[in-house]
Chains A and B, each alone.
Chain A
Amino acid sequence: MKTTKYIYISALTLTLGLCGCNDNAFLTEKANTVYTTDNSYETVDQVKASITNMYVHIRYWYQIDKFMKGLGADVMDTPYFRSSGYGYSYFSNWSASSNSASKIYDAMYQLANYANQSLVGYNTDGLTWDSTDDKNEDYGQIMFLRGYAYLTLGELFGGVPLVDQFYETLKLDFTRSSREETYLFAINDLEAAAATLPDYPSEAGRVAKGAACHFLAEAYLALATINDNDATYLAKSIAYADTVISMHPLMTERFGTRASSSGGTTKNDIAAYYPDGNVFFDLFQEGNYDYSEGNTEAIWTLQNDYTVYLTYGGNNYVNTPREMSPVLRDVIWNSTYTESNAKSGPWAGNIDTDLYLGGNVCAYFGGRGVGVISPTTYVISDVWDSTYSDDMRNDPCNIRRYFLCTDTVHSLYGDTVDYDMLDYTSQKITEFFPIWTKFAPIDDWGYDDLSDGGNRSNIYSDQYACRSAETILLRAEAYFRAGNTTAAVADINLLRNRANCSLLCTTDDISLQYILDERVRELYGEERRWVTLLRMGSDGITSINNHAMYIATQSFWGGYFLPTGSEITDWTLFPIPQTVIDTNTGAVIDQNAGW
């Protein structure tokens, strides 16, 4: 009996005891299908993947989120029919907690930190690159993207905390540097990039020396602006711009995929050749965006590819036809022109789909536009008064302003619809505005996905991050700030001449506003308008106050809606996000003035 007892007790103890001692091993986590930061930089390819990530990231902030391109500034906003007056430029709704500016702050610090983390990878011991050039190019790209991030932060937010390393543990005691220090930090990175990047992109989509120099020109211009137009800085800006412009001369002749009357690839049964086009038209045709595609003007392009989109989805698409086209099918006739059997508007229905494939969402109407973003009257008509009638940038193949009545039942079928035929008493009038061909292709040649059931919402062409036309305008501004108006005027006329515009700029015309206007003509929807305006400070704010959708009267819509917002009076920089100030508990981050 006793023996049994001991056997029981020892068996029991053994069972319980044995399992007890390896509890900790049992509880240790082993992530089978997840990568952790512990194994993130074991090869050069992982460093390169980190760099790719930065391109993916910055592409989003150019082509998917369009805020930086000027939403709420002088050029574009949410149209009235969507906002009822509370668009972006209703600035009294803005605060340090509002999302618009803070998401850019976050996005730029994310870019800077991805760069910092890539540097950790780049500096990891034991990694071997194929060649020194390859290694240098990777380093150059990292430095470029970090410099770009801090330059943008400085331009939009002023002096910000300068973070040059990747923290894996909490750090809550950041302090702001001065705006000048931020610019100098950016310049330092960009100069390191310029020194190591190849002259031209090793592959389409990568940045090269031209991009580094372009943003150095912008950075020195920014630095000069806050230092009373310091001549040395302006000289540096001009010198970097010179480098870019000589390496990336403007395109002046028709070129590329749709310029040749013989051959070319037919897409969606549309011939490649577009006889009414011009060089400005060609700049925005798929297959023409990259330097490697013969476009010398291209400095840095964001890459998109339909095959990749079809296979993997992701952000490899451009939704400008959907977001930036008007909703023509909703626009209605004024009572004089309503006809009993016809549709309520000239473009609503009864459409001959042989002529207009896709009916009321055909390419002629800008595809399936839903009018998320509308240009302001400043962009639609103020900068394009009649004196610009022969400017090719204003040619109907580049800005489509007038449309034929497509309602086969209506007596005006086939006639041009004048603006005064439309109903200006209905909110629907705000769904009407011109179509820029750079956003929505002129015909189905541009819609790659049609054969797969696409509905003209998206295109898949590359996009410009910057092209040398912008460098020229940076240099014009630098010359102007340096007092060399002749050179400034000459730069603007470089673009006018390329556009075959008979009206040329004179030294009497030139001003900062004039340069801003020219930027609209050349770069609407391409440049980071907010960055340009806030870099200029109060001069930029003036343009917003004079033109923004809900501050200035918008004559294009016949005064359908009146200004709801009030002018910006007390700020020239975006607010530092309140969450950043609140969560940085170890040190004080001062808010910008006016917030």
Chain B
Amino acid sequence: MLSLVLLSLLLSVQWFTAFAQNKEKVTGKVVDSNGQPLIGVTVVQDGTTNGVTTDVDGNFTISVPATALLDISYVGYNNQTIKVSIGKPITITLIEDNKLLEEVVVVGYGVTKRKNFTGSVSTIKTENTPLALQPTTSALDVLRGTVTGITISQQQGAGQEPSLLVRGQKSVNGGTSPLIVLDGMIYMGSYRDIDPSTIESISVLKDATSLAAYGSQAANGVIMITTKKGKIGKPIINISSSIALSTATAKPDVLSPSDYVKKVNLLSGLDENADPTWMNTFEYENYENGKTIDWFDYVTRTGVLQNYSASISGASEKMNYFLSSSYSDQKGIVIGDDYNRIGITAKLQNDITNWLQIGGQVNYTVNDYSGPTTYNLYQAVRLSPYGKSTRDNGMPEKYPVNEGVYRLNPLWNVKSGTIDDHDIYATTGLKGNILIKCPWLEGLSYRMNGSYSVENIEKDYFTHEGYYVLEGEDEDRYATSTVADYLASANGYSARTKNTSWVWDNIVNFTRQFGDHFLDVTYVYTRDSYEYNYRKFTGSDFSSLGNTNLGYWGLALAGTQLISSINDTLKTDVGYLGRINYNFKDTYHLNLSLRRDGSSVFGANHKWGSFPAIGVAWTISNEPFLKKISLINYLKLKTSWGKNGNQSLSPYETMSKITLGQSGGYSYTFGNTSEVSWGQRITSMGNADLAWESTESINYGFDLGLLKDRIHIEFDGYFSKTTNQIFSRTIPVMINGLTSIYATMGQVNNMGIEINLSTVNLQTKDFKWSSTLSYYLNRNKLKELYGDGEDDITNSLFLNKSLGAIYGYKPIGIVQTDDAEYISANGAVAGDVKFANLDGSSDGAITSTDRTILGYTKENFRMSFGNTFKYKDFELYALFTGVFGGNGYGQAKNYYAFRTASDVVGDNNLNHGWWTEENMSNKYPRIGYTNSNYTPLQGYGFVRLQDVSLSYLVPQSILKRYAIQNLKFYAACKNLFTITGWEGGDPEIQQTLGSGYSYGYPLSKTVSFGVNMTF
């Protein structure tokens, strides 16, 4: 597969490669400002692709025409162009790039230099950094712990997409996902289609002025992803591959088999050490023989992730190309969870004339999730250790314990061969752009970008009759002739989704420096569209066929065939943006913008909204009085205000809808005919006034560079107010039978601070140690709800409190035998949980007025600490991340870390004791205690070594012999260890036994090895 991809790439690149013309031989040496030779510097004949790189001593030799110019470029240094001098060797001194001032910041519909930027943005470069070495399939994973102000979930199942939250939860009910902008255009596709190996950098826009460019879609933040481009020089062929092995970060600690028997005995009303006669035959046999099974081990395995990618890229002054393909194959740590992805990208940009540039890009991605997978692993925690996973003939047993219907073999779907699952996501993306630089007015340009993307999702699923094997103990249940009785239940479906999106941007830009005045004016007109198109066909009852050998391919033969769904929704947006950036002497900066947005999802009376923003900044370090202080080399103060929106409505949500027919699902049958009649019912009441949720925010902060940027501090603070929240408002049922309607009301405030401290701690010729410490704190407060000044206890929403409140009775220990007063007041028995009498009622009875806010699911703050050590050709990177609780924050419900009883007596439980008269615990209640008032919380705070990588760059001296430009070996680990007080699973995903039947997919601890080669 890989070699095929490579071959096609090699062939297609042939015609890009230019011929070098033999003219004059020029030799030279490239050094830095200290006179140290620079290795691997690119030296290219200007306007051609004729180029070389410097050797270990910084020397180069190139043949060029005598009149040629040479472009010298090196990462981290300013580019230089020099005239060729024939004869004597030339020495070129490259000046280190002053990153701060000249770094380009990607902003909405354009770029700007960091020095002119008034907002708040965090940029992560992934190309050629340790971050790119992470063993992952998700492009956005690099943001975790490296960017302040953003919370990103860990990937659990193979190929699953993370969720993102920027600067706190602003919307109570609406979406919280940020807008993704890929190479300058709004991206409406799935994260899974962004190939991590093609990413150059990711920026997160957070403040209102930066977000203002995206108006009604921007309130949850904007993530700008820039993909790799060809670089001037000779074509680069890059091949990298890695393999990663993973296991679960945490294994649920369950009762030992003997404690399990004691527990069930007691719950069954038997003596602790009684003979467990409640077991069924095979369970009892296993018990007698001491044969146990560890169900968590049974369902998990060592996960394997393989990533391969190959790319060819290059550029001349006129043309830039980048071709890449990648292949990822992931076997998740739960058996059956398999995933692979193929990604192909081709990019080409060409300057046709000095005023016209065109570019195009094609992407193709296929994600394959086929095969049944179990994501909820509660069975693997709950099942009896004396259960039976496998029958005598080596095939899986569906009912591993007594009372099987709710206790199935967790791998029954995966191993029984009775489920067929075909699950493919294929996306094709096309992009094109035209840039016209106005030849008669310097600085004026018009750019048109267009993108078009189609995602096709194929989902076919089939459940064979064998799936419906009955409970019991004999093997006959599995006989073909027995299960043939269930052919009427065999069923399957075939579903097709087509998501089509397009974006069309028109950007007129005028950028020019007039003496001390810099002006950048942008006008944008944009439209986009997203269409979701779905059809699903189901078939069931194969009794007339006698078997289901064709699986879902035989749906047309089903006794019952239904078109269960055809759905098509279209969402369209229009936007106008005007923006002015102005600065005077690079010192006083002003940014003004106004976006006007219309969206089809908004109610008929509210189709349009306006989103203004203003930002100012002052680069104090340019002022004469500060220039004297050598300690400070850079200081900029900035503040901004703006308004953004959140489109939390889905298409047609502002209309009154009815449901009818078969897809409505209200079936009845009159007249004993088995003929179905369908009901028609109103499902929602429209509201033409619905629109966007609106967020106003203020950002303030500073950038400070000390000791020639050895120390760099970025501080940002913000305050935001989100109003017109879209709520499902409760209405009197008398109006029309509906009990809710979408309405806008309520207000949530967010405030927070973000601090990023980057330091170069040590730097010698061979050794460099740099580190980054970041801190992020966010608080939110529900200011207003339904306008009646009342809390919404049902939904745990409390005015003037943070979102994520957990409300209930406060446990203060366990009722002991001598707590006579409490026992009589509450009809409690010793061993029950004791609740605080918060209302101070004199009778000591615990009633609903004793409830209080027990804690918040939201964390207190996050910190991360990254270190990079470079010694010669070795680079070691380690990133610690931590989520901290305290002050009631960072709490989550963790029932079974305390409680023992569950709905099903024979269930296993997390490993801990229980209250007995002999051992009067004050932490764990008595064994059979269940009470819906009991909500035990536990802190999920943790500190973990999230990423660590070690890479070795093979010295050029060795590589020269093999015509290899760069060769890097590396090892990278993820989630290597974790310190936490959380019980039952991983703290980051708050994994534990849920109060119902749930246990989330485990998080992975991964070790990977890889190689990266450039020719």
Contact = CB atoms under 8 A, between A and B. Distances in A.
B886 interface: no
A166 B541 CA distance: 42
Given A310-B540, A359-B472, A583-B732, A23 B676 contact: no
Interface string B728-748: 011111111101010000000
A170 B275 contact: no
User: Most chain-B CB neighbours within 10 Å: which of A31, A292, A348, A583?
Assistant: A583
Nearest to B903: A82
B440 A168 contact: no
A303 B735 CA distance: 29
A127 to B, nearest CB: 14
A504 interface: no
A23 B570 contact: no
Nearest to A327: B403
Interface in A429-457: 451-453, 455
B812 interface: no
Interface in B666-683: 666-672, 674, 676-682
Contacts of B930: 84
A28 B471 CA distance: 56
Contacts of A332: 268-269
A155 B667 CA distance: 29
B788 A55 contact: no
Interface stretch (B4-12, B629-637, B653-661): B653-661
A528 to B, nearest CB: 19
A109 to B, nearest CB: 4
A19 B734 contact: no
A36 interface: yes
B662 A312 contact: yes
Given A24-B598, A28-B600, 4 more contacts: A50-B681, A85-B827, A204-B671, A452-B485
Nearest to A82: B903
Contact of A451 (B488, B668, B928): B488
Interface in A337-387: 338, 340, 342-344, 348-349, 353, 359, 361, 368
B440 A30 contact: no
Interface string A171-183: 1101000000000
Contacts of A353: 472
Interface string B928-951: 101110000000000000000000
A126 to B, nearest CB: 18
B659 to A, nearest CB: 7
Contacts of B730: 579, 582-583
A16 B525 contact: yes
A206 to B, nearest CB: 6
A188 to B, nearest CB: 18
B489 A452 contact: yes
A59 B735 contact: no
B652 interface: yes
A308 to B, nearest CB: 5
> On chain A, which size bracket covers the interface?
35 or more
Contacts of A368: 405
Nearest to A292: B672
Interface in B560-575: 560, 562, 566-570, 572-574
A52 B680 CA distance: 7
Contacts of B669: 205, 303-305, 308, 316
A4 interface: yes
Nearest to B565: A33
A303 B668 contact: yes
Interface string B475-516: 000000000011011000000000000000010100000000
B981 interface: no
B562 A311 contact: yes
B660 A35 contact: yes
A271 B572 CA distance: 64
Contact of B736 (A40, A166, A580, A585): A166
A52 B656 contact: no
B681 A114 contact: yes
User: Most chain-A CB neighbours within 10 Å: which of B527, B665, B678?
Assistant: B678
Interface in B766-812: 788, 790, 794
B763 interface: no
A112 B166 CA distance: 46
Nearest to A47: B680
Interface in B92-125: none
Interface stretch (A71-79, A395-403, A419-427, A505-513): A419-427
A353 B651 CA distance: 56
Given A113-B736, A349-B281, A23 B574 contact: yes
A44 B692 CA distance: 39
B571 to A, nearest CB: 9
A37 B488 contact: no
Contacts of B677: 48-49, 52
Contacts of A408: none
Task: Tell me whether chain B's interface is mostly helix, strand or loop, or mixed.
Answer: loop
A130 to B, nearest CB: 16
A311 B666 contact: no
B298 interface: no
A310 B560 contact: yes
B528 to A, nearest CB: 10
Contacts of B567: 33
Interface of A: 1, 4-5, 8, 12, 15-16, 19-20, 23-24, 26-38, 40, 46, 48-50, 52-57, 59, 84-86, 97, 105-106, 109-114, 116-117, 161, 163, 166-168, 170-172, 174, 203-206, 290, 292-293, 303-305, 307-308, 310-316, 332, 338, 340, 342-344, 348-349, 353, 359, 361, 368, 423, 425-428, 451-453, 455, 564, 579-580, 582-585
Contacts of A112: 737
B657 A290 contact: no
Contacts of B657: 31, 34-37
A337 B294 CA distance: 35
Nearest to B402: A349
Contacts of A46: 660, 680
A106 B270 CA distance: 45
19 contacts: A8-B438, A49-B678, A50-B680, A105-B733, A112-B737, A161-B734, A172-B732, A174-B734, A292-B671, A311-B541, A312-B676, A313-B665, A316-B668, A316-B669, A340-B275, A342-B277, A427-B269, A453-B486, A579-B732
Nearest to B793: A97
A29 B655 contact: yes
Contacts of A303: 668-670, 672
B756 interface: no
B584 interface: no
B869 interface: no
A564 B827 contact: yes
A117 B682 contact: yes
A-B pairs, 10 with minimum CB distance: A53-B679, A426-B269, A113-B737, A453-B468, A203-B671, A49-B680, A453-B486, A110-B737, A37-B656, A307-B674
A84 B268 CA distance: 15
A171 B735 contact: yes
User: Most chain-A CB neighbours within 10 Å: which of B280, B685, B737?
Assistant: B737
B484 to A, nearest CB: 10
A340 B275 CA distance: 8
Contact of A290 (B270, B665, B672): B672
Given A52-B678, A453-B470, A59 B668 contact: yes
Contacts of A426: 268-269
B446 interface: yes
Contacts of A585: 788
A52 B486 contact: no
A428 B405 contact: no
A4 B619 CA distance: 41
Contacts of A349: 280-281
A30 B570 contact: yes
B140 to A, nearest CB: 31
A31 B540 CA distance: 30
Contacts of B566: 33
A36 B734 CA distance: 20
